[in-house]
Structure 1
Amino acid sequence: LWNVKRPDVVRAIYQGYADAGSDYITTNSFGGTSYRLKLHKLQDQVFELNRAAAALAREVAGADRLVAGSVGPTGELMEPLGTLTIAEARAGFADQVAGLAAGGADFILIETMSSLDEVQAAVEGARQACDLPVVVTMTFDTNFRTMMGVTPAQAVQTLSEWGITVIGANCGNGPAEIERIMWEMAQARPEGVVLMAQSNAGLPRWLDGEISYDGTPEVMADYAQRMRALGVQVIGACCGSTPDHLSAMRAALDGPPMTGYEPHFEQKQTETTAERRSARRALREQA
């Protein structure tokens, strides 16, 4: 709502990230579908609020930076686990994206997704509403699966089949875990796919009555270097990140690449359930 009621505040926040050296500015429209806005009785302002979000970012970005139109999950469960159909979700996403496109977004960033069905609806809705490029990032838990069980490899393979050429991960549990996730994506990505990572600035904690994140700018600078060493080409940040974090990341990426990169995890492909069952069956047959 502040996009139309307090645009000066939103503009100043965008400007802070631009001044920190960001190449693209992400709109504050993550919860901009009618499904999220209805929680605040604003579902009849989807187009207006999303257009304003993108227009303010466009003002700040100017000609030197891109504007990413952020599209987050509906918050509803898709069929058969819930009642939301792909057609309904597609229509909701299309309404949001139409506003972002009208406001001047350069590309649509579908982010923090857990379900491939919801991603499908979002991608189809975006393509129905405009002809802007579509980027998709999913979010993974400590088991290196999304909430709906999608692996990093499945994500990059499936999304590339849908014609998405910039694919990645965002949010999650901080730089250490996203490094493993991006390594798995790098092993599975088809030729021509660009990888994108946007880690949280560490983990959230309650401190002095406020939520803060434990990832320092130095931690995020190291994360940026490690992502580049993995071959990730679009490197950003997510929850808890401030202009100070982005400034440190910008300085790190403007400097020389990391030498002698060593991952913070065991370099081993995650076994699928079928592979584990097959291995156990082979052992039983040998016994």
Structure 2
Amino acid sequence: MLICRSVSECREAVAKLRQNGHRIGMVPTMGYLHAGHMSLIQTAKTQSDAIVVSIFVNPTQFGEAADLDAYPRDEDRDLALLNEAGVAVVFLPEVGTMYPPGDETIVETTRLANMLHGEVRPGHFRGVTTVVARLFNIVQPDVAVFGEKDYQQLQVIKRMVADLHMPVQIIGAPTVREADGLAMSSRNVRLTPEDRAAALVLSRALDAAETAAKGGTVDALHATITATIASEPRAALIGLDIVADETLNTLTGPLTGPTAIMISVAFGDILLIDQRVVTP
């Protein structure tokens, strides 16, 4: 496994893989890896011959400096996990590498980035697309895998790739959960024991919504989810979006097709998200 910290090192490593006829798969991450990340790597392996994983805690997608500073990091542990997983190249750039002095270029999907969760965290998706576009330009993968848990992010990246004619196949991988149903996230380690137990309300709300979707309406889904979250006093519902699958268009009235539900819930100062696509 090659560890690259500069753009030139990363490009040289990928070029050698291509010289050997390898199809390149990529999994962009912010590190502090868990089983969810490993599942993305396994998905990428089914679509490519050699995997590049980037680890970069991207400052432009954090709204508050305190949240950025608190994001968990463990480079040695991450590298051990990636080596065991058979990753070919790890790209570990510094902030100054990804955002060189004087840089002024951004990439943004103007509609998808500024609706739904983008209203809760202004500028977040602009930061995501800007850094992912730069990573894709450096690595130039054939395929890249992202988790469906960050459902709006997945659609934003698909839109960016389509609009900019990037030759990258984007694959969404199913959400990986803990044994008790909590969606895996690097933020989970920051939860207090009480909030960790309370966080199960997200999966309970989605389970209830899946039942309510059968022959139901958008209003009924909204009421079911809101009531379930409200039943947990430690949870504060920050965002609830019930939209059309993939397009994220607003829905009203009876459910007629695949419907994406995205929930943002705060436990103290920790914001967790979860999602599910349900069918009526």
TM-score of the pair, normalised by structure 2:
0.29
User: Structure 1-normalised TM-score?
Assistant: 0.28
Structure with the bigger RCO (C-alpha within 8 Å, sep 6+) is 2
| Higher helix residue share | 1
